[in-house]
Amino acid sequence: MPYFLKAIKLSLRYRWTILASVLNALLIGVLWGVSITTVYPFVEIVFEGKTIQTWLDDEIERTKELAQQYGADVAELERQRITGASDIELPARLEQGRARCGKAQETLSFYQTLESWLDKRIPSTPFGTLLMVMGFLIAVTILKGVCMVLNTVLVARVANRTAMDMQRIFYRAALGMDQQRIETTGAAPLMTLLSHNIGLVSAGLKSLYGTSIREPLKMFACLIAACMISWRLLLISLLAAPVGALLIHHLSKRMKKASLREMGGIASVLQNILETLSAIRIVRIYNREPRERCRFKHSARSLCKLSMKMAYYDSLVRPISELVGVVCLAVAVLAGAYLVLNQQTHLLGIRISDKPLTASTMFVFYAMLAGISDPARKMGDIYNVLVRAAVASRSLYTFFEQPAEIAAPADAHPVPLHAKSIRFNEVNFAYRPNQTILKKICLEIPFGQTVAVVGANGSGKTTLVNLLARFYDPQWGDIFLDGVKLRAMNPRKLRQQIGLVTQEPILFRGTIWENLIYSRPNASREEVLQASRIARVDDFVRQLPDGYQTHVGERGGMLSGGQRQRIALACAILANPRIMIFDEATSQIDRATEQLVHVSLREFLKQRTTIFVTHRLSTLELADRIIVLDNGRIVGDYSYAEYMSIQNASPPTLPAAA
């Protein structure tokens, strides 16, 4: 629940909307109580063939008689006090008599004032009174309906805007999350948190600011009316309520555990869908559709079982609340019937009322209890919603509020404009404990040098450049940019000087032009076209009917792999970085086009530090220096000529570049 309180605190930025909804809910509660109180004149007045005036006349006469009787009793008690009667209870009886007499006088004054005000404003016949009461009931119901609509809209505004704010906050946190944590968590759990869980929190806020405020106010209006009849009888009637509250509290603990499992099941199903659809070509080429259907069926069945358990717990809430309501009503009926039938004011030695209750008064009391039961039932219905919201809030805040390890230090060093060197000093790195990928890497790359990193798969080539981009930090050793530790820098400012093109470039849904300017949205048209010419994007774009406005599809799926790589290369070139990293950046480009790209790149790469991770011999021609990695260690540092002579002399002795 403390985590849900954070969501509530976030929603308080819309405090004026919340205040308006609360005031609106208060009006609904008053109208709810007023609509039920119309039962009283309907039963007490109309069915007895009276009008409101005649009923008031009778009440005034009855109250006068009571006032006279109480006055006579007080006078007698005063006489006994003056004569020195030895009754030790006399002062208390005298005080009670005076209170009764004063209350009767107040009631008489109220009835007389009300009669003078209503005399010329209400019908003078029983049927006319009935028409007035029914018209009043319809008007109140219409007004209450308008208020309900307004309340729903106000509450939805708060909940939806808060959900939008939470999505922005947590999406921002996701973008700043450590690379390793993102890869370990996976896309499906993140999507579940940012969509499903926030949806549950939004539903919880709607219930909190809507039903959980509106319905208790409706209950409160009925409770006040019931208290005015007999607050002692009301307390007796509600004796079973604490038992129901304890049962629901016990049930909520089970609901929280089941809700957590259900969220995990949703993430599993979503993960299954994402994996299958992203690899649909592989699924189809190997005819593995039956296997994927079976896997999805298993995940969906597990989720169904979890959802059924939640439905079972949810189904218990209403019967419990209804049982408690029936028990309360039964106690009230039995107690009230005993008091009315026997014209008693005490029950089990406890004073219930100052005067015997009438059947019509008890009928109104029961109507008030019925008016309490409907909001109480709705309160039971929202319990599951609030429990789910609390569990979802806990998952959101505990996940996204974990501090990132790759972050700017408090006293971040200004990032120097790269002009000297990049140095790896005794760098060790492991993705998992006891599985070291890079071992004691010592490497210095002067500014402006083009370095190719070669080696067998798994030797640590990509990891090396990932450390330079500070996607990860080494467990041991340090990396320096122009003499400054990367750990001491703001990673975002560091990456402003780095361009990266990977083996599997990911394009965003949109046009070719939009993907080209992703690295520099404010670039001029000529700069974009120049980058496109260097990467040979212009060669194939000219053949497309829509040119640069051609849509690339989901993840660039409407283009070939080579075309995607050239667009990604042009995007990196447009960023005009001081450090260029190519991780198998031309692996999907045909040899002829690759040669043209290399010719264009030679001029561009001057006055930049460039690192190629490659297996292609043709790419090595661009390198001033070739670093050979084997099992996480540097086993060779050659010029292009030296490396090729060694390869030609004895190919098996070094990891070959295919």
Using a pLDDT cut of 90, give the percent of the chain over it: 22
Q: Tell me, yes or no, if the pTM score tops 0.85.
A: no
Lowest model confidence (mean pLDDT) among 8-12, 118-122, 176-180, 628-632: 118-122
Percentages helix, strand, coil for the chain (3-state, rounded to 5) are: 65, 10, 25
Q: How many CB atoms lie within 10 A of CB 68?
A: 12
- Provide the token pair at 59: 């009440």
Q: Using CA atoms in the order 46, 48, 51, 56, what is the torsion angle rounded to 10 degrees?
A: -120
- CA–CA dist 570, 537 (Å, integer): 7
Cα-only R_g, the chain = 40
Q: What is the mean pLDDT of residues 539-544?
A: 89
Query: Whose CA is closest to 482, among 426, 425, 420, 427?
Result: 420
Residue 394 pLDDT > 50: yes
- CA–CA dist 23, 4 (Å, integer): 23
- CA–CA dist 231, 142 (Å, integer): 31
Chain Cα centroid distance, residue 203: 9
DSSP-based three-state secondary structure for 138: helix
Query: pLDDT band at 272, cuts 50/70/90?
Result: confident
- Provide the token pair at 162: 């808060």
Residue 199 pLDDT > 70: yes
DSSP state of 358: P
Q: What is the mean pLDDT of residues 204-218?
A: 87
Helical segments of 342-409, H only = 359-400
Q: How many CB atoms lie within 10 A of CB 492?
A: 12
Pairwise pLDDT comparison (123 vs 388), residue with the higher score: 388
pLDDT, tens digit, 9 for 90 and up, residues 147-157: 889 988 999 99
Residue 462 pLDDT > 50: yes
- Provide the token pair at 348: 């089990």
Q: How many CB atoms lie within 10 A of CB 342?
A: 10
* CA distance from start to end of the chain: 58
Residue 652 pLDDT > 60: no
Query: pLDDT band at 658, cuts 50/70/90?
Result: very low
The residue with tokens 């974990």 is: 402
The DSSP-derived string for 238-306 is: TTTHHHHHHHHHHHHHHHHHHHHHHHHHHHHHHHHHHHHHHTHHHHHHTT-HHHHHHHHHHHHHHHHHH
Query: pLDDT band at 527, cuts 50/70/90?
Result: very high
pLDDT, tens digit, 9 for 90 and up, residues 291-347: 888 877 887 788 777 777 777 777 777 677 777 777 877 787 788 777 777 777 777
Paired strand residues for 527: none
- CA–CA dist 300, 277 (Å, integer): 16
Residue 344 is which amino acid?
Answer: Q
Q: What is the mean pLDDT of residues 503-527?
A: 89
DSSP-based three-state secondary structure for 588: coil
Paired strand residues for 429: 438
Query: Whose CA is closest to 420, among 491, 497, 472, 496?
Result: 497
